[in-house]
Amino acid sequence: MKLATVRRDGGTRLFASNASDRLFDVLDAAGDDVRSLSGIEDVGSLYRQGQEVVQAFRAIVDANQSSQVPSFPLGELDLAPPVIWPKAIVCIGRNYAAHIAEGDSPVPEFPLLFSKYANTLVGDGDPVVDHAITKELDYEGELGVVIGRRAQRVAEADAMSYVAGYTVINDISARDLQLGDSQWIRGKSLDTFCPIGPVFVTADDIPDVDALRLQTWVNGELRQDAPISDMLFKIPHLIAFITEGITLEPGDIIATGTPSGVAFGMKPPVYMRPGDRVEITIEGIGTLHSRIVAPS
Ligand code: MG
């Protein structure tokens, strides 16, 4: 099942599809079942309602897939982030060998965690601000993992059962701030620094996440191209490592790290400027589009 958070009538609504690229408003389709879906305004709030509601939601999507409910291609929808208010966005640094090499960074012995705040989240097609306080705006295409149920001290063998599904993330980074400050918060968490989407795809639709491929284009030029299987620490290990001491809640996001090909690794680096376009594709999920704009 594919889900998208859509801006509509001053709020957001959850659109879905399990068969085609045309999505429909599930609340509109729900009819008399509408009470069970009240308060669901994004993927996070759906999963916070618990598995029973998720199943009810899925049943409505199944029942209406071939009905006369109006449906829309993604390109016609105003997309918000699939998850609007995650409690945590846990990011993994240095999780692909070739990216570690391009940054002359040491290979981590265990996952390197940092975080982004929810102020960073923007949807597909939304502008990313080239803030005046940075001269080194960079992109990082990443697979995003969305947690489906409370995860606390999860064993690696059980970890995948806590994954609701996947999305595409651009871990926008201000390199001068990231490397100039002693912590990464400013470098990673300025407003608009986490484009995410265009959609969320449930885990059952992606039986082998390692088989996916990630590609990033800047102004149409291919910059990143790597299989997800190149990850140093795999998703089950990441979930086990994080939840040893940090409880993850439904809707929380793990940004799993970026492969090589970021601007920082180019000689000389070609950082992003207003007017640039970034597209990140993960096959089976979709393409996340961003455009860089000057601060207003
Ligand atoms: Mg990253």
pLDDT-wise least confident of 19-33, 160-174, 249-263: 19-33
Q: Is the pLDDT of residue 179 over 90?
A: yes
User: DSSP states of 225-270 as a string?
Assistant: EEEGGGBSS-HHHHHHHHHTTS-B-TT-EEE----S--GGGSSS--
Say if residue 34's pLDDT is above 70: no
Dist. CA 296 → ligand 1 center (Å) = 26
pLDDT band at 192 (very low <50, low <70, confident <90, very high): very high
Distance from residue 78's CA to the centre of ligand 1 (Å): 26
How many angstroms separate the alpha carbon of residue 236 from the centre of ligand 1? 18
Q: Is residue 47 within 8 Å of 149, Cβ to Cβ?
A: yes
Q: Is the pLDDT of residue 233 over 90?
A: yes
- Does residue 33 surpass a pLDDT of 70? no
Amino acid symbol at 152: Q
Output the CA 204–ligand 1 centroid distance in Å. 25
Instruction: Tell me the average pLDDT across 269-277.
Output: 98
Q: What is the pTM of this model?
A: 0.97
Q: What single string gives the DSSP state of each residue in 142-178?
A: EEEEEE-S-BSS--GGGGGGGEEEEEEEE--EEHHHH
Q: Is the pLDDT of residue 283 over 70?
A: yes
Q: How far is the CA of 141 from the centre of ligand 1 (A)?
A: 8
What is residue 145's predicted lDDT score, i.e. its pLDDT? 98
The rounded Å distance from CA 140 to ligand 1 centre is 6
Interval between CA 58 and ligand 1 midpoint (Å): 32
Distance from residue 95's CA to the centre of ligand 1 (Å):
9
249 against 38, higher pLDDT: 249
Ligand 1 centroid to Cα of residue 158, in Å, is 25
Residue 47 has pLDDT above 90, yes or no: yes
Nearest to 262 by CA among 140, 169, 86, 165: 140
Distance 255 CA to ligand 1 centre (A): 7
50 alpha carbon to ligand 1 midpoint, in Å?
30
Ligand 1 centre to CA of 151 (Å) is: 22
Which pLDDT score, from 0 to 100, does residue 28 have? Answer: 84
Provide mean pLDDT across the span 211-222. Answer: 98
Mean pLDDT of 145-160: 98
- Model confidence at 15, pLDDT cuts 50, 70, 90, reads very high
Ligand 1 centre to CA of 92 (Å) is 6
Q: How many whole angstroms from 164 Cα to the centroid of ligand 1?
A: 21
Alpha-helical (H) ranges within the chain are: 26-30, 43-48, 51-64, 97-102, 175-180, 185-189, 235-243
141, pLDDT greater than 90: yes
More confident residue, 79 or 19: 79
168 within 8 A of 280, measured Cβ to Cβ: yes
Instruction: State the pLDDT at residue 38.
Output: 80
Q: How confident is the model at residue 21 (pLDDT cuts 50, 70, 90)?
A: confident
In tens, the pLDDT along 56-92 reads 999 999 988 777 889 999 999 999 999 999 999 999 9
Q: Which of 172, 171, 164, 233 is nearest to 199 (CA)?
A: 164
Instruction: pLDDT band for 130, please (50, 70, 90 cuts).
Output: very high
Q: What is the mean pLDDT of the chain?
A: 95
263 Cα–ligand 1 center, Å: 13
67-76, 136-145, 192-201: least confident range: 67-76
Cα 169 to averaged position of ligand 1 atoms, centre (Å): 9
Spacing, Cα 170 to ligand 1 middle (Å): 8
Distance of CA 49 from the midpoint of ligand 1 (Å): 29
Closest to 252 measured CA to CA, from 159, 142, 126, 151: 151
